[in-house]
Amino acid sequence: MLSDRALADFRSALGADRVFDDAAARALYACDETPRRVEPDAVLFPSSHDEVLALARVAFEHRIALTPRGAGSGNVGGALPSPGSVVVSFECMHRVLEFDPANRLIVVEPGVVTEEIDRIARGAGLFYPPDPGSSAYCRIGGNLAMNAAGPRAVKYGVTRDYVLGLRAVTGDGREIRTGCRTTKGVTGYDLTRLLVGSGGTLALITEATLKLLPAPEAVATLRLCFASNRAALDAVGRVMRQAVVPSALEFMDRHAIDAIRPTGAADDLPPGTQALLMVEADGAAQDLPRQIAALEQALAGDGLLEMKSGFARADITRLWAARKSLSHAVKQIAPLKINEDVVVPVSQLADLVDFLDHTAQIQQLPIVSFGHAGNGNLHVNLMAHPDDDDEMARARLALDAIMLRVLALGGTLSGEHGIGTEKRRFVPQEIDPTTLELMRAIKRQFDPHGLLNPGKLFPD
């Protein structure tokens, strides 16, 4: 537990009403979306950059580890406290500091909800492209930590592509500023891109300057049903080799379709549907028919059972119903969802999905796959009962096999969820020892005593 002096110093830095060490607060902030729990020694609620600077200096003086946290919606243990650490919750830092439509940028604190940024931008005819599935409640600070993405990443890229500059505090209590306010700039090293995706292990981000884009005039959607996973994923390959880049390209395997059947969301799918693609295009309204026609031509092929299009909002909503119902439906299979967001080259997607089916059969374990096929990014969900020791052992074997297969196919361990605590044991399988040591050296420059989010990203 914290010493009386350390607790007093934190209260002096933030105020007594922003430092909690009672049992209820520690229990509430003991986990994120992973099933593990570690109670912190206290929870801090800074409300400004200066308070983050002050608390970091207190932590450095007392050698207290800090676990940064947004909404706690991550599912790889990125916000899981380490033993003896203090949680730094950015919930109270939720101000929009500047909105500059003329220069297409917005400056926000880390506690701002991601969807709110897009809402503000659209009021001026702009939009913020990154769209993680949790955007209605996740915080931009967590998005920055994990380099979050979403369905639109296939056309527009990920969070890192929209960060112009950052203000942050290092592990030894130094203030740093990175980047600039312009879309071009090559002065010095690109520390902005280094911090985004670092999982809170290098610095505590207190302010982000984000790039916005003109909002597309219109959106149109295609829903395609296929007789097999391979037929659907072959179609993905054809789409990604032609000129019209879809703004979303989502895949659902046969297990995902089976999961939504009890909800009625699959009732209008043709018999024999074993895989589903959702394809979206956006841009100028007069150009959408041309885009959709090009996508339809590329998607047509062996195994296609049905193709439906929607241009009106009601039709688009109806076509997306199956995909939107999936997250809740999957949770009905088993109480524990081990959610991995692996990425492989698009040309290897079909082989990966075949391997997942094979692994599910061998380990007698439900594995549901869906995700952002245009990027080769699949959400692989191993469904298990945590009170069944044998089933959990088989889930661990399946997970090991899947990770090794992903790397063998030329892929990577995570596309948007990050590494956190859950995948760090696999990191040496992807990153060679020399490169890994260089990354550790960078960590020491920003955080010499290893106080920022310890136990994350790298193996011990």
* Residues paired with 309 in a beta bridge: 222
Residues 6+ apart with CB under 8 A from 157: 129, 130, 149
d(Cα 224, Cα 275) in Å, to the nearest integer? 8
User: What residue has token string 């002050």?
Assistant: 54
d(Cα 98, Cα 109) in Å, to the nearest integer? 10
Summarize pLDDT for 121-161 with one digit per residue, the tens: 999 999 999 999 889 999 999 999 999 999 999 999 999 99
CATH architecture for residues 218-327: 2-Layer Sandwich (3.30)
Strands 66-69 and 86-89, by their bridges, are: parallel
Mean pLDDT, residues 292-316 taken together: 94
Q: What is the CATH number of domain 96-214?
A: 3.30.465.10
Highest-confidence segment of 29-33, 194-198, 319-323? 194-198
Structure tokens, 388:
């069944």
User: What residue has token string 């919750």?
Assistant: 89
Phi, psi of 413 (to 5 degrees): -70, -30
Summarize pLDDT for 81-120 with one digit per residue, the tens: 999 999 999 999 999 999 999 999 999 999 999 999 999 9
Does residue 322 carry a pLDDT above 90? no
DSSP 333-379: T-SEEEEEEEE--GGGHHHHHHHHHHHHHHHT--EEEEEEGGGTEEE
| DSSP type of residue 452 | B
CATH 3.30.70.2190 in the chain is located at: 218-327
User: What residue has token string 């990125």?
Assistant: 78
| DSSP type of residue 201 | S
Distances (CA, A) of 316 to 26, 188, 219, 256: 43, 45, 9, 20
Cα–Cα nearest to 46, from 65, 27, 70, 29: 70
Structure tokens, 347:
């040309």
Q: Can you give the pLDDT at residue 282?
A: 97
Q: What is the CATH number of domain 4-89?
A: 3.30.43.10
* Residues paired with 276 in a beta bridge: 225, 252
In this structure, is the dihedral angle defined by the CA atoms of residues 315, 319, 324 and 330, taken in order, positive or negative?
positive
User: Which is more confidently placed, 321 or 231?
Assistant: 231
63 exposed, middle or buried (CB, 10 Å; 0-12, 13-18, 19+)?
exposed
Mean pLDDT, residues 343-367 taken together: 96
Does residue 13 carry a pLDDT above 80? yes
Ranges of H-type helices in 23-162: 23-28, 49-62, 114-122, 140-146, 153-156
Q: How confident is the model at residue 41 (pLDDT cuts 50, 70, 90)?
A: very high
End-to-end CA distance of the chain: 23
User: Which is more confidently placed, 459 or 239?
Assistant: 239
Q: Can you give the pLDDT at residue 200?
A: 96
Phi, psi of 441 (to 5 degrees): -65, -40
- The type of residue at 106 is I
Neighbours of 314 (CB within 10 A): 8
Cα–Cα nearest to 75, from 319, 376, 307, 339: 339
Percent of the chain at pLDDT exceeding 90: 89
CATH 3.30.70.2740 in the chain is located at: 333-428
Q: Can you give the pLDDT at residue 263?
A: 87
d(Cα 206, Cα 191) in Å, to the nearest integer? 15
CATH architecture for residues 333-428: 2-Layer Sandwich (3.30)
pTM score above 0.85: yes
Summarize pLDDT for 203-213 with one digit per residue, the tens: 999 999 999 99
User: What residue has token string 């597309």?
Assistant: 216
Q: Can you give the pLDDT at residue 194?
A: 98
Q: Can you give the pLDDT at residue 33?
A: 86
d(Cα 385, Cα 378) in Å, to the nearest integer? 22
Asked if residues 138 and 70 have their Cβ atoms less than 8 Å apart, the reply is yes
Mean pLDDT, residues 42-64 taken together: 98
Q: Can you give the pLDDT at residue 68?
A: 97
Q: Can you give the pLDDT at residue 332?
A: 87
Structure tokens, 183:
């879309």
Provide the mean pLDDT of the chain: 95
Structure tokens, 427:
């990191």
Structure tokens, 440:
């550790």
Cα–Cα nearest to 197, from 142, 115, 154: 142
CATH 3.30.43.10 in the chain is located at: 4-89
Distances (CA, A) of 132 to 91, 138, 148: 19, 8, 6
Percent of the chain at pLDDT exceeding 70: 100
Q: Can you give the pLDDT at residue 325?
A: 82
CATH 3.30.465.10 in the chain is located at: 96-214
Q: Can you give the pLDDT at residue 327?
A: 77
d(Cα 214, Cα 186) in Å, to the nearest integer? 24
